[in-house]
Amino acid sequence: MEAALFSLPSSSSHSYPFSVKSHFNNPFIIPHSSSHLKLKPRTLTIRSAISRTKKEETVETVKQQLEDCYLLAGISYKGLTVKQFQDLRAQLPETTKLLVAKNTLVLKAIEGTKWEALKPCMKGMNAWLFVHSEEIPAALKPYRTFLREKKLEDNDFTGGVFEGKFYGPDEFKVLENLPTRAEIYSQLLGSLKGPASAVVGTIQAPARNLVMVLKAYVKKLEEEEGGSQ
């Protein structure tokens, strides 16, 4: 095609300072010596951008799960299969979400918040339980049952944060044995009918218990008032 476009007399004694072929290179031909050098950096750049985007999405997901979260707990998921994860998720209450994320990304999401107390368990391979309910024992029981049934004692809780305090693996029984809402209501109503010292003892309980107790009492008064009308 180049010969048809540029025909030069063969008998010409003039020497041209350029070559027709070298001056009018075919744009569709890629030199072999540079093709690999150009493609590899571009491939690495694309992969890096995708990886960065996924990390940012994970951090944002963790932040969203922290909204209205009462307890954030880490569990050791090393050795768990995909099928076991699916079974576990099916057993958890709707208010509890299970998320697999690298420690570094979770740490970035909780930085500067009350959840930063979770730092001590940022080791090994963790999955994360986000409990969006005040009923902490009911949220933790399914996982404890799962561990027992599957004989996965090595996949225990690695730590958790509740009301800004860190609970290590050895302290998780405290969280698992917290009184339920119904039990707290019963304690308050019982103390109101008993001696003044019992009421004082209830008032001196943790702030969470006191708030729940007062709400229950107000509700009871409203119900009694409505029934008397």
Question: Model confidence over 39-83: pLDDT tens digits?
Answer: 555 666 767 666 888 999 999 999 999 999 999 999 998 888 889
Range of the domain at 71: 53-177
User: Buried b / exposed e across 155-176, counting CB within 10 Å, b at 16+?
Assistant: bebbbbbbeeebbeeeebeebb
Is 190 found in the same domain as 151?
no
How far is the C-alpha of 89 from the C-alpha of 141, rounded, in Å? 13
Q: Say yes or no: 200 and 119 in one domain.
A: no
Q: Do the beta carbons of residue 76 and residue 154 sit within 8 Å? A: yes
- 66 to 1, 29, 82, 126: CA distances (angstroms): 67, 55, 24, 17
Q: Mean of the pLDDT values across residues 166-173?
A: 92
User: What average pLDDT does the segment 213-224 reach?
Assistant: 60
pLDDT at 6: 39
Residue 93 placed within a domain: yes
Return the pLDDT at 19: 47
Percent of the chain with pLDDT over 90: 42
Decide if 12 is inside a domain.
no
pLDDT at 13 over 60: no
Are 121 and 172 in a shared domain? yes
Contact by Cβ (8 Å): 68, 132: yes
Same domain, yes or no: 72 and 82: yes
- Whether residue 154 sits in one domain with residue 57: yes
Task: Residue 67: give its domain's CATH number.
Answer: 3.30.70.1730
- Global pTM value: 0.62
Contacts of 220 (CB under 8 A, 6+ apart): 189
Q: Return the higher-pLDDT residue of 216 and 154.
A: 154
Q: Are residues 99 and 147 in the same domain?
A: yes
Residue 37 lies in a domain: no
Whether 143 maps to a domain, the answer reads yes
Q: Are residues 173 and 183 in the same domain?
A: no
pLDDT in tens, 81-124: 889 989 999 999 999 999 999 999 999 999 999 999 999 999 99
In one-letter notation, the amino acid at residue 197 is S
* Same-domain check for residues 128 and 203: no
Are both 65 and 132 inside the same structural domain?
A: yes
Count of CB atoms situated within 10 Å of the CB of 95? 16
117 and 141 belong to one structural domain: yes
171 and 124 belong to one structural domain = yes
Report helix angle 82-91 to 136-150, nearest 10. Answer: 140
CA distance 76 to 124: 8
Same domain, 138 and 196: no
pLDDT value of residue 179: 75
Residue 192 maps to a domain:
yes
Q: Are 140 and 176 in contact (CB under 8 A)?
A: yes
